[in-house]
Structure 1
Amino acid sequence: MNWDSPIDLATAGSPAALSHQSLRENIELVEQLLRQVAFQEGGSELVELLERLWASQDGSEEGLALIRALSLEQSVLAIRAFSIYFQLINIVEQHHERKLLRLQASFSADTAQPGSFCWLFDELKSLGISSPEIERVLQQLDVRLVFTAHPTEIIRRTIRTKHRRIANLLDELDGALSEWQQQQLRADILEVIQLWWRTDELHQVRPTVLDEVAHTVHYFEEVLFETLPRVRAELTRCLAQFHPALTRSVGTFCRFGSWVGADRDGNPSVTALITWKTACYQRGVVLGKYLHSIERLRDRLSVADSPPQDLILSLEEDQRALGEVYERYAIVYRQEPYRLKLSFILARLKRTRERNCWLEEHGPQRLSQPDDPSWQHYYRDASEFLAELQLVQQCLRLTGLVCRELEMLIEQVGAFGFHLAHLDIRQDSARHEETLSEVASRLRLLDKAYEDLSEIERREWLVRELQTLRPLIPAELPFSARTEETIQTFRMIRRLQKEFGTDICNTYIISMSRQASDLLEVLLLAEEAGLFDPATGTGSLMVVPLFETIEDLRSAPEVLEQLFALPLYRCYLTCHGNLQEVMLGYSDSNKDSGFLASNWEIFQAQQHIEQVARRHGVQLRIFHGRGGSVGRGGGPAYQAILAQPDGTVSGRIKITEQGEVLASKYSLPELAAFNIETVVAAVVQASLLPASPPGSRSWELRMQELSDVARRTYRELIYEQEGFIDFFCHVTPIDEIAQLQISSRPARREGRRDLASLRAIPWVFSWTQSRFLLPSWYGVGTALAGFIDCNYERNLAELRSMYRNWPFFRAALSKVEMTIAKVDLGLARHYVQELLPEEYVPAGRRIFRLIESEFERTEDALLLIAEHRHLLEDNPPLQRSIALRNASIAPLGYLQAILLKYLRGTARTAHSYSRSELLRGALLTINGIAAGMRNTG
């Protein structure tokens, strides 16, 4: 296997040039080691087979005949080799990115990468942005990155651990080593690959929700806990260089959240008890990190100076409260007061963790611990722990000392508290309607069924109930299991806040929000659980609408207008700093109407929502529900943030991070730090510099026309073309993907077998596997080409001007260009030819011709507008990487197609294999293709 580097050889002496040789060497190394393992596992026959498959990338009859002649055992060996190969290449690419980032840090500001803090403040200075303007944004800077529970992480955690091991060994190889040391490290990498080959790539069983929690928290434990303070240090360093007076304006600017263990929309496995255990698990992890840090600090702070008076008084209080600790350490540390103080802190932390373990085991019903003296004097919240650390910090400073490790720990406590990540609760609006319908019916509260009330009638009744001080829901719940679970969720949130503080869980996201009553329903249920006080109008739970479909996005401004007009709701907002969070969904709007319409409708929704908020004097935080793929709002976050409408960022943004994106962004400290840095830099930049050029109003009108055409074209294919659903089910591995044990959540809502109930993730995942990538581009070509054809010279010039000068339009078209560069219609045609049953062939051929024609229109239009001769001409590294992967993945695609034929019974094998054996082979190809594409859903 030969791999041509996607990194261009840059100017001599640049970071890229300095690491280029290392990149090539590492590629050759992993190829050589994988070939060695393949020989050990399958002999020369396997190595020869892999070379022949590699040469059959063009889909020639000879290559296809070779694939058809393979036994299942041979196919599985080949699939494993290709899958491991692609993952090794991904590791090497990440290692290369990591090395580039390190090298760039050693160069001057002139070579700083766009999106870095150094580049940003240099740019702002050159544009004449004043220090007070920058300070205003820094003081309100609030970036929230939310890890979600969506099932797009196909690689097992045990395999991810091997990835990290190889990355670290490659890192060690970059050092100044003797020949013997280099040989040893290569032998270590070989050993990891050998163990990897013998490790099952597939998840053995479907993970539980708590398994997913552990997997997600792993990124915090291994990377983010140490990385976040480094990002802050870099921000402070760059501010000191360009705006020294502003270094004190930097607060806790980045926080993390999680849906894992809290998102119950369509996942019956997420219960009140599971969310409670998730919170306890997260607290246990972060307490463990703090214990380790305090132990290290106690080893280091061996200061024997006379302590300041404040520390003496604190030690006296500690002695009275924790006499046994004093007796143990007073003599040992009699001349080392800081070590003694840290021993007391350590004891309190241990008791806090022991209490947390007890609460995790016994659940939210029991908040009081056993009557055991050893459990007293624990930290009730992170603020008590933080206050003690700050006391040590102040006392050290009074004596002229600074401990950087202590400073870092204080920053970590400020960012992670005792909760590690904020938990966002999410549930479908229909569940709340169903709950209140049953409550109202059971208690005979209404003259007619709640579900039969008009929207106005619902709002009027909900407002009346919210202002009533009497309880609505009895303590005992004589309702159905679903209704009881919904009510118990709110009661559990109340217990969470009582035990952990409001930081653990203070947002409730309502998916499929369509009307104001959807939010008032949640507010009423929150009131019943003690999360909202109608007497004072205060509440500890922010209700967040999630607008997902095109129709919902369009109605969002009116929904907020109705809410903001309610005195009760405005009073409620004041206890949240007069801030309203609004979530916008990329996945369902894209599945509903296609890429271009989805992005444009979200852009417009933000504009209109911001106008409503400004008119009512309400602050806004937009929560972007982005996925990993372009078809679900994915793509470079830096460009995406800069493409937001003017006035909608204002120092605040919230973004989902999910699935394979977590591994690509947060598996290595340098990559995690750079990702956080670029997101924060983009928020600052978008808050200070306008994204829309003067006179862009006419472009917005043009964009609406293009969006309408693209949406109509997309929906004509997806929802109106006869036989399309059958086409989709046959030419993609959608049914097989549903059998992957990668998520606790079902692939379909309510288990129905139709397009409406299919989740956006497997929808995108399936099209990616068969190389159509349809949701990310279909309809764009007709919209662009149709407009150009109306007046070629004038309209093409207008689109080119939009592309050059409007960040939104450029970012949208760049994503489409990247996506269609990944499309392989030759391979997609093979899926159609091989997998369509005979009776579906006429309709399938018609549909494929439509797709093929639209692809050609899209490619031609993009090249015209971007003034490129070839796709991605302005990004040679990405162009080469995609071209390589397109060809290299082809053998896996051919193997997948033939295994799907055998599995579905449309072709007979020369051998007798069970369905489970064939399914395993097909699922392995899904893993391999996902690794090669670096993308699932």
Structure 2
Amino acid sequence: MSSPAALSASLVQIVNIESDLRAANSRLRYRLKLIEDLWESVLLRESGQELVDLLRQLRAMCSPEGQAPEYPAQEVLKVVESLDLHQATTAARAFALFFQLINIVEQDHEQEQTSIYRISPINSEAEYPVGTFRWLFPELKKLNVPPRQIQRILDNLDIRLVFTAHPTEIVRHTIREKQRTIAKMLKELDRTIGFKGDEIVPQAIALNWEAASLQEQIAEEIRLWWRTDELNQIKPTVLDEADYTLHYFEEVLFDAIPVLYDRIASAIAVTFPKLKLPSYDFCKFGSWVGSDRDGNPYVTPEVTWQTACYQRNLVLNKYIHSVDRLSRLLSLSQSLSDVSQALLDSLGDDQIHLPEIYAKHSIKFRQEPYRLKLAYVKKRLENTRDRNQKLRHSGWQASEMELSTKGQEHQLYTNVSEFLAELKLIQESLIETKLNPKPLENLIRQVDVYGFHLAHLDIRQESTQHSNTISEIAETLQLLDKPYDDLTESAKVAWLTQELKTRRPMIPAKLHFSDKTNEIIETFRMVANIQQEFSVEICNNYVISMNRSVSDILEVLLLAKEAGLYDPATGKGSLSIAPLFETVEDLRSAPPIMTELFELPLYRTYLESHNHLQEVMLGYSDSNKDSGFLSSNWEIYKAQRALQDVCQKYQVDLRMFHGRGGSVGRGGGPTYEAILAQPGRSIEGRIKITEQGEVLASKYSLPEIALYNLETIATAVIQAALLPSSTDTLDCWLDTMEEISVRSRQVYRQLIYEQPNLVEFFHQVTPIEEISQLQISSRPARRAGKRDLGSLRAIPWVFSWTQSRFLLPSWYGIGAALEEFLQQNPEGHLSLLQYFYSKWPFFKTAISRVEMTLAKTDLQIAHHYMRELTKEGYEEAFVDIFAEILKEYQRTLTVIQSITGQKQMLDSDRDLQRSVQLRNGSIVPLGFIQASLLKRLRQHRPDTVDLRSRYSKNELLRGALLTINGIAAGMRNTG
């Protein structure tokens, strides 16, 4: 039992935290008002009173809840339709700027809230937020979780976050930089303003003068932003995307990892001091940027090689800067501090191999051995970087001579372990004298995590590309009696297995196949070269999208063998293959496919070289597009349970790779809740998750938010492994969910796939065609040039419904399914669903995500899009479709509120509710502007100009694209 003094201290701590949170909320209100005032003042100065009056008028015409006024909204329409293109575009830009500024303020508020808990002592008994390390380990102790079980999970802890280049990041890199600048200025402004509870406390006159100066600087930055084009003028290249993505590593994540480790280490030390800490690299990062070639013809072997070189260059520069800082720190004199003999011996070797460094620094550092050692270390890093630059220009087909480091072994680092050994040599010498400087320890942790590669590069390609390649090779070389594609699945597996056992090469060194087949073969050869040059660790995972059979996996293994990535003599390989199951049908087929695969002795031997670990990726986007939100998530849930059973049977460890997007319709939502919602046994301390598009900016732009996100993910993984949901064993719950899921899928598919006019409805009432013209991604919006749903990617599918405020993929079909279940037994089934909501993480997470999207849905403005954009001849059909959508929305709204017991959407999450309402009021007039511009654009004729504005079609398109940019900023997610 805690002592009275401890309890008193705890109460004081809680009171202090609550006071700090109230002050933070006061600062939020102040900043929101300030930023809105600055926004208006900039617009007034830049564009005049007329624009400011127009924006105020449009916002005032919308209700406080942010819903569009009932149709016909003559007042709004009259104003919007009277605008010429310049006025409409300027208003759209102004609203977009407002949303972006509000996002900055809110993100800074989120960072401040997470940091409030960091300033309290680690040994205090105050309650900390659920999802943090300080909360987790005391909770495990309170629940009497055996330390040996905790140790097992800590030993296996393996979290991998994979950044992808999916086209949902609509904000230009240039604008992101301005956002960061303003965020820093707002932080500075906080110093000049005091808060006591809800009250603003005037500061000293000097600080008030400083506050005025900072406000003027912020206004100036906003003016610069206003004069900056929000739209990319050309499509970004793949290497541009790599630059954008790796910026987060350079600015935030490189320095975040040591802090993350400190947080988990200190939390464990207080509650379980005898436990061994996890390895430094328990949290790693991967990337698809520059390596994901599924549907992107611009990701070539050369681009992947260039990306790897770019990553290595970035991390080497970070190490060089860190070594410079260490050199300034480690000024110890040999006459005042002992130095290990091992370190002194290494200096003798260094003098022989790098005499120019000795000549330059030996006199200056003659009594400072650590600085002299670090001078040698820095030179080796610089030489390694210089060689990397040469290889980048040489390309992936660099000659053996170019790849060779013979004769240079002591002038540069041939691998990261050599660099790490030198850092540890310095650390061990210091430890002998009771010193262990934090910057050195942090650098060692960073090297453990980032190596010389920074982020793991996953290769991804679609399954038919491999089968087409094998088919062409077999036909060209006459390897089979009949075409490969004509073989049965069992015959394919038998032939592929035989070829994998054969030691002779199948593919000639010089390629004479089609360009596509040559590129597939060269991709594997490039991977072999990357592994040779950069180490296996940088590129040892191959994801097969649309995986539908065992032969899909064996085809990749055979192509790997031909590139030297699989040795038929030993049965071992350096490339881990991860099948990606995406559609509902594929998810259901995953367990039998993996069972058949594990039955193959050849594949089981192959897994030995990967520590008996099998990675399986599950796709949220395509399964959602195929089956609807609820059915998709339920099928993924079932697939995980079944795959875990299969792997357990064959004594294979399983790592689930979750292909989540940013929006709810693509698996998005709070990551902590999402991890806990997975079946308990599917997470044994291991997880891999994609981080996409605008999610990167929202999670990793600011250090404290990035750390909080990483901490909650790690907490959830440990928690899910040690405290799995008991509902996994309740068959009656699973049967109930299956019944609801089946009905939800039926309702969803009736509209999306069985309604003959739905595709036309989608293309006419959403800005899908205009979105495909945004220069935001190197990858095309469609897998093929067809206008059907099958070829349309899930990202623009969700993006388009979001723009027109339908948000259909996130909720359609759920209301009907739940209502039908409730009608079977109104009181009993409602009580059951409410119990699910309170006790079953999977169900609560699903309902909460639906609730959030319903709060953002506005079918009144969506109705306006339909009436304004429907082409002649489709009116009657579209009215019927909209009636079905409206009916399902109302059903869903009613049933969700009955389950949650809330009168209004998001009553249980006031912060999110406030955020949504804050934006909705300005998104509505922007939606009216977008619909108006889309109508003008689509009615434009090539031989004329718009009679009202006399603008060309390209200028009208630009206006429409600017509204897309603005609504995306207001919704805070796109696809």
The bucket for the TM-score relative to the shorter chain is: over 0.9
Deviations 1:673-703 (CA, angstroms, capped at 9, x unpaired): 0000000000000000021337621010111
Q: Which residue of 1 aligns with 2:78?
A: 65
Report the CA distance between 1:141 and its aligned residue: 0.1
Report the CA distance between 1:852 and its aligned residue: 0.2
Question: Is this contact kept in 2: 1:351–1:375, CA < 8 A?
Answer: no
1:550 corresponds to which of 576, 581, 584: 584
Question: Is this contact kept in 1: 2:338–2:433, CA < 8 A?
Answer: no
2:776 corresponds to which of 726, 742, 749: 742
CA distance in 2, matches of 1:45, 1:484: 60
**1:536-685 mapped onto 2 (5 Å cutoff):** 536-685=570-719
- Do structure 1's residue 131 and structure 2's residue 160 form an aligned pair? no
Report the CA distance between 1:282 and its aligned residue: 0.2
Q: Which residue of 1 aligns with 2:841?
A: 807
Deviations 1:331-356 (CA, angstroms, capped at 9, x unpaired): 11000000000000000000000000
- Greater displacement, 862-871 / 90-99: 862-871
Provide structure 1 residue ranges, at least 5 long, that are not aligned to the other structure: 1-9
Letter in 2 for 1:586: Y
Report the CA distance between 1:597 and its aligned residue: 0.5
Letter in 1 for 2:23: L
Report the CA distance between 1:287 and its aligned residue: 0.2
Q: Which residue of 1 aligns with 2:533?
A: 499
Letter in 1 for 2:268: L
CA distance in 1, matches of 2:17, 2:838: 30
Question: Is this contact kept in 1: 2:752–2:758, CA < 8 A?
Answer: yes
Helix, strand or coil: the match of 2:751? Answer: helix
Question: Is this contact kept in 2: 1:231–1:673, CA < 8 A?
Answer: yes
Q: Which residue of 2 aligns with 1:910?
A: 948
Deviations 1:195-217 (CA, angstroms, capped at 9, x unpaired): 00000000110000000000000
Deviations 1:734-788 (CA, angstroms, capped at 9, x unpaired): 0000000000000000222211000000000000000000000000001000010
CA distance in 2, matches of 1:582, 1:527: 21
- Do structure 1's residue 143 and structure 2's residue 159 form an aligned pair? yes
- Greater displacement, 764-773 / 177-186: 177-186
Report the CA distance between 1:111 and its aligned residue: 3.4
Count of residue pairs the alignment pairs up: 929
CA distance in 2, matches of 1:573, 1:375: 33
Letter in 1 for 2:86: E
Question: Is this contact kept in 1: 2:679–2:728, CA < 8 A?
Answer: no
Deviations 1:559-596 (CA, angstroms, capped at 9, x unpaired): 10011000000000000000000000000000000001
Letter in 2 for 1:225: F
**1:455-470 mapped onto 2 (5 Å cutoff):** 455-470=489-504
Question: Is this contact kept in 1: 2:680–2:728, CA < 8 A?
Answer: no
Letter in 1 for 2:168: T
Report the CA distance between 1:251 and its aligned residue: 3.7
CA distance in 2, matches of 1:692, 1:731: 45
- Greater displacement, 833-842 / 767-776: 833-842
Question: Is this contact kept in 2: 1:109–1:118, CA < 8 A?
Answer: no
1:115 corresponds to which of 116, 131, 141: 131
Helix, strand or coil: the match of 1:165? Answer: helix
**1:775-794 mapped onto 2 (5 Å cutoff):** 775-794=809-828
Question: Is this contact kept in 2: 1:556–1:609, CA < 8 A?
Answer: yes
**1:852-863 mapped onto 2 (5 Å cutoff):** 852-863=886-897
Deviations 1:775-831 (CA, angstroms, capped at 9, x unpaired): 000000010000101111111111111111111111111111111111001100000
CA distance in 2, matches of 1:705, 1:481: 48
Report the CA distance between 1:16 and its aligned residue: 2.1
| Matched-pair identity in % | 55
CA distance in 1, matches of 2:279, 2:448: 12
Question: Is this contact kept in 2: 1:12–1:18, CA < 8 A?
Answer: no
Letter in 2 for 1:662: L
Helix, strand or coil: the match of 1:654? Answer: strand
2:372 corresponds to which of 319, 325, 340: 340
CA distance in 2, matches of 1:934, 1:740: 17
1:302 corresponds to which of 318, 331, 336: 331
- Do structure 1's residue 24 and structure 2's residue 58 form an aligned pair? no
**1:220-259 mapped onto 2 (5 Å cutoff):** 220-259=249-288
CA distance in 2, matches of 1:15, 1:594: 42
Letter in 2 for 1:677: E
Report the CA distance between 1:513 and its aligned residue: 0.2
CA distance in 1, matches of 2:278, 2:838: 35
2:448 corresponds to which of 414, 436, 457: 414
**1:374-389 mapped onto 2 (5 Å cutoff):** 377-389=411-423
- Greater displacement, 708-717 / 800-809: 800-809
Q: Which residue of 2 aligns with 1:700?
A: 734
**1:445-484 mapped onto 2 (5 Å cutoff):** 445-484=479-518
- Greater displacement, 374-383 / 310-319: 374-383
1:178 corresponds to which of 207, 211, 214: 207
1:153 corresponds to which of 153, 169, 177: 169
Cα distance, 1:150–1:371 mapped onto 2, change above 3 Å: closer
Question: Is this contact kept in 2: 1:770–1:828, CA < 8 A?
Answer: yes
**TM-score, scaled to structure 1:** 0.98
CA distance in 2, matches of 1:13, 1:522: 56
- Do structure 1's residue 361 and structure 2's residue 393 form an aligned pair? yes
Deviations 1:533-554 (CA, angstroms, capped at 9, x unpaired): 0110110000110000000000
Deviations 1:339-384 (CA, angstroms, capped at 9, x unpaired): 0000000000000000000000111211534999889621011111
CA distance in 2, matches of 1:869, 1:374: 71
CA distance in 2, matches of 1:246, 1:354: 43
Report the CA distance between 1:879 and its aligned residue: 1.6
Deviations 1:261-320 (CA, angstroms, capped at 9, x unpaired): 000000000000000000000000000000000011111100012421010111111111
CA distance in 1, matches of 2:547, 2:20: 48
CA distance in 1, matches of 2:750, 2:416: 55
CA distance in 1, matches of 2:220, 2:687: 44
CA distance in 2, matches of 1:164, 1:379: 35
- Do structure 1's residue 311 and structure 2's residue 340 form an aligned pair? no
Q: Which residue of 2 aligns with 1:7?
A: none
- Greater displacement, 128-137 / 207-216: 128-137
Report the CA distance between 1:248 and its aligned residue: 3.4
Deviations 1:846-873 (CA, angstroms, capped at 9, x unpaired): 0000000000111111111112222222
Question: Is this contact kept in 2: 1:645–1:692, CA < 8 A?
Answer: no
Report the CA distance between 1:886 and its aligned residue: 2.1
Question: Is this contact kept in 1: 2:405–2:414, CA < 8 A?
Answer: no
Question: Is this contact kept in 2: 1:351–1:374, CA < 8 A?
Answer: no
- Greater displacement, 593-602 / 898-907: 898-907
CA distance in 2, matches of 1:278, 1:390: 29
Letter in 1 for 2:131: G
CA distance in 1, matches of 2:20, 2:633: 35
Question: Is this contact kept in 2: 1:692–1:807, CA < 8 A?
Answer: no
Letter in 2 for 1:86: F
Report the CA distance between 1:507 and its aligned residue: 0.3
- Greater displacement, 697-706 / 237-246: 237-246
Helix, strand or coil: the match of 2:94? Answer: helix
Report the CA distance between 1:618 and its aligned residue: 0.4
Provide structure 2 residue ranges, at least 5 long, that are not aligned to the other structure: 1-14, 63-67, 193-205
